[in-house]
């Protein structure tokens, strides 16, 4: 019996070993299109760019619009256009790692292609997966797309400022997530307005510290 995604898994382990040696924590961010991944990265760069050396791999079906939004922070950014492909895989990550000076990096974000299904199937060699869900998508997403939430270390519930205008039930959302993954961390933010992003930054910083110590 042979695992069909063996080649992806082996390359992912290679990437993981390399990044561990270089002490670079890689965060694979997965969400639907428009959940707020890029805005969250903007807030993160604003909060951390002067004390943490950040790099970003932007996965997009087409265009470099997300990459352009992050250029103002003067950080290394590599854009992978999948040309219609619905996810990144470990080979595409491995190929672009050479564009980064890994010795001068602490934190590498991968902004995966906006999609809740396909990206959750492919290990990229990340330290952990981060799921981002926006309130406008509805509170049933964890139950409908369980694979992402069982595999993620944390989930950001973004656009909390919109809750009054939706039928989003925070308690149902949280209880579904916890039943899928009891150890997961849930952080509520409104990345555009900035509310809650301090909790995200605090959590991220603690993850980085324990990664470096570990």
**Interface with another protein, residue 86, by CB under 8 A:** yes
Show the tokens assigned to 20: 């561990």
How many angstroms separate the Cα of 67 from the Cα of each of 152, 154, 196? 24, 24, 24
CA 132: distance to chain centroid?
Answer: 7
Residue in the block written with tokens 């992050």: 70
Cα–Cα distance for residue pair 98/156, rounded to 1 Å: 30
Cα–Cα distance for residue pair 204/214, rounded to 1 Å: 15
Residue with Cβ nearer another protein (15 or 177)? 177
The piece of 44-52, 103-111, 115-123, 157-165 that touches another protein (CB under 8 A) is 115-123
Separation of first and last alpha carbons in the chain = 34
The piece of 12-20, 83-91, 159-167, 205-213 that touches another protein (CB under 8 A) is 83-91
We find the least distance from the C-beta atom of residue 36 to another protein, in angstroms, to be 23
Residue with Cβ nearer another protein (112 or 160)? 112
**Interface with another protein, residue 83, by CB under 8 A:** no
**Interface with another protein, residue 7, by CB under 8 A:** yes
Binding to another protein, residues 159-198 (CB under 8 A): 176, 178-180, 182
Q: Where are the beta strands (DSSP E) in 135-184?
A: 154-158
94 neighbors 14 (Cβ within 8 angstroms):
yes
Residue with Cβ nearer another protein (102 or 143)? 143
133 neighbors 141 (Cβ within 8 angstroms):
yes
Cα–Cα distance for residue pair 172/142, rounded to 1 Å: 10
User: Residue 21 CB: number of other CB atoms within 10 A?
Assistant: 9
We find the least distance from the C-beta atom of residue 68 to another protein, in angstroms, to be 27
The piece of 33-41, 114-122, 132-140, 185-193 that touches another protein (CB under 8 A) is 114-122
Binding to another protein, residues 121-160 (CB under 8 A): 121-122, 143, 145-147, 150
We find the least distance from the C-beta atom of residue 92 to another protein, in angstroms, to be 11
Q: Dihedral (C-alpha) 69, 75, 76, 80: value to the nearest 10 degrees?
A: -20
Residue count, binding to another protein (CB under 8 A): 27
We find the least distance from the C-beta atom of residue 14 to another protein, in angstroms, to be 16
The residues that touch another protein, with contacts defined as CB under 8 A, are 1-8, 85-87, 89, 117-118, 120-122, 143, 145-147, 150, 176, 178-180, 182
């Amino acid at each position: 019996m042979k695992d069909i995604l063996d080649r992806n898994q082996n390359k992912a382990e290679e990437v993981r070993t390399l990044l561990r040696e270089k002490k670079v924590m890689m965060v694979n961010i997965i969400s639907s299109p428009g959940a707020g991944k890029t805005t969250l990265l903007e807030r993160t760069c604003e909060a951390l760019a002067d004390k943490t050396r950040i790099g970003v791999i932007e996965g997009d079906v087409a265009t470099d619009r997300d990459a352009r939004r992050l250029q103002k922070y003067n950080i290394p950014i590599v854009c992978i256009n999948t040309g219609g492909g619905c996810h990144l895989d470990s080979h595409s990550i491995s190929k672009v790692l050479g564009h980064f000076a890994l010795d001068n990096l602490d934190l590498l974000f991968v902004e995966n292609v906006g999609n809740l299904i396909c990206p959750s199937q492919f290990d990229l060699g990340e330290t952990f997966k981060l799921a981002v869900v926006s309130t406008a998508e509805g509170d049933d997403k964890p139950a409908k797309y369980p694979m992402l939430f069982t595999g993620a270390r944390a989930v950001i519930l973004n656009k909390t400022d919109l809750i009054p205008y939706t039928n989003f039930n925070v308690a149902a959302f949280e209880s579904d997530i916890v039943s899928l993954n009891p150890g997961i961390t849930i952080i509520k933010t409104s990345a555009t307005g900035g509310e809650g992003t301090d909790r995200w930054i605090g959590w991220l910083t603690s993850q980085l510290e324990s990664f470096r110590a570990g």
